[in-house]
Amino acid sequence: MATATGIDEDGRADEGAGSWRELNRANWDERVAVHLASDFYRVEQFVAGEDSLHGFEDGELGPLQATSAVHLQCHVGLDTLSLARRGAEVTGLDFSRPALDAARRLADRTGVAASFVEADLYDAPAALGRRYDLVYTGKGALNWLPDMGRWAEVVAALLRPGGRLYLVEFHPFVSVFGDESLTLEYPYFDEGPVYLDDPGDYADPNARLSAARTVEFAHPLGEIVTSLVEAGLVLEFLHEFPECGFRRFPFLVESQPGLYAMPPGMMRLPMMFSLRARRPA
């Protein structure tokens, strides 16, 4: 792993590595086929009616019937279609064309109505050209973005007055540890782009990606929340959870379907968080 110290206005990072967008898009384009075939994403079970949202999300989202929603960084669209199954009119946005092609195929297979738009996250307001009742995002999304202030401004621009952001994300605290143990390996605070050269994939440990170099960014919880407040949103709640939506460490145990926690006898750590914020009417 190599760490750089900055990116310019065009999104180009130090070390001559090229644009973070170009590197990350190539990586995510290649991941699509791996994810569709993996046991992790359970695509066939999803087509048969299985849900991809966590149990706590229903209560925090509230009723979605006749709600206009946009899912940012939607990948292959499982969460997008899960929102649509709850009655929302949903658009998914992502910068990966192969991911959106897969999402459209899944919409056809499930018979669930949803639309998908290819665009960079920071270009979302212009690409979508409308406002929504709900912006939904998270689950491994924010670490791919360099600027939380711009992200929050995008969210605010996409919300109609009275509209809500709902964010479910992996807790930045647990992101400081390595993959195998509770060993400190990565920064908690923003120290510039973090370059990773890893041909593996979280959904399939046997995968070997050719577009292996990625660029990630650390965003502490305070930065995320403050960015939303500075963009004019009103925080309604912030919840932290001692469970993770995947087996973040090999020693985690499944505490309830789709959620993993520390085994008995080990101290609990914050591994996910959710927040809801409202654009004033």
CA distance 276 to 93: 20
Give the model's pLDDT for residue 8: 41
- Does 258 or 277 have the greater pLDDT score? 277
Q: Which residues of 237-270 are buried (b: 16+ CB within 10 A; e: fewer)?
A: eeeebbbbbeebbeebeeeeebbbbbeeeeeebb
Binned at pLDDT 50, 70 and 90, residue 132 comes out as: very high
The pLDDT value given to residue 13: 42
State the pLDDT at residue 18: 56
Domains and CATH numbers, the chain: 37-183+227-278 (3.40.50.150)
